[in-house]
Chain A
Amino acid sequence: EAAVTQSPRNKVTVTGGNVTLSCRQTNSHNYMYWYRQDTGHGLRLIHYSYGAGNLQIGDVPDGYKATRTTQEDFFLLLELASPSQTSLYFCASSLRDRYEQYFGPGTRLTVL
């Protein structure tokens, strides 16, 4: 069974704060993704990666950085968090880019 884990599951920070969201997959997948989920918008792609050290820009990258340190680990960084970044964040992985994606349980981030 494919496995994607995320930490923390919940995070509260203040405007201007520094936040790192972590994702680990044990599927031996090449691709990893970060999405945000907001009511009325569905899931929107922030960044993705096809291997350690690689980073690709998604559809809503402004205000976010990401880093893929190993095949298993993908991090999303918010260096100056803003209230507009309050959202539910999902990490996902896939073997190849056109294959189905497996999602983690999500991290709920609140920026006050």
Chain B
Amino acid sequence: GDSVTQTEGPVTLSEGTSLTVNCSYETKQYPTLFWYVQYPGEGPQLLFKVPKANEKGSSRGFEATYNKEATSFHLQKASVQESDSAVYYCALSDLSSGSWQLIFGSGTQLTVMP
């Protein structure tokens, strides 16, 4: 079945440094790809989504490019802030299970030190 593999956490960075969270996926279909963010004490919320191959999604300074050939969707930010501390989830949605279920990666805990 479908699967999503992302950078093992936790990741600790200093403010102003760059972030990359790797995400790779396996599916036989053509998925829509998502990044979700979860702040402490809250449910996950959509960061952005990219429905089409070779397109880029971005929000709040974060971006990721849907690389169909490499089956990757790495999350990047040039300069992280303390407020970016959260858990980040890569997810995909396609019809391989017969319905458009969201398949989540295991999450990457990011802590940004001031």
Contact = CB atoms under 8 A, between A and B. Distances in A.
The answer to whether A and B assemble together is yes
A43 B104 contact: yes
B99 A42 contact: no
A101 B102 contact: yes
B43 interface: yes
Contacts, number: 44
B100 A103 contact: no
Interface stretch (A11-19, A70-78, A92-100): A92-100
Given A42-B89, A105-B41, A56 B106 contact: no
Given A45-B102, A58-B101, A98 B44 contact: no
Contacts of B89: 42-43
Interface of B: 32, 34, 41-46, 49, 89, 93, 99-102, 104-107
A41 B104 CA distance: 9
A102 B45 CA distance: 7
Interface in A18-55: 40-45, 48
Give the size category of A's interface with B: 20 to 34
Contacts of A41: 106
Contact of A98 (B32, B42, B43, B45): B32
B46 A92 contact: no
Interface in A60-112: 90, 92, 96-98, 100-106
**Which residue of B32, B41, B49, B106 has the most chain A CB atoms within 10 A of its CB atom?**
B106
A43 B101 CA distance: 12
B43 A104 contact: yes
A90 B106 contact: no
A4 B43 contact: yes
A100 B102 CA distance: 9
Contact of A42 (B46, B49, B100, B104): B104
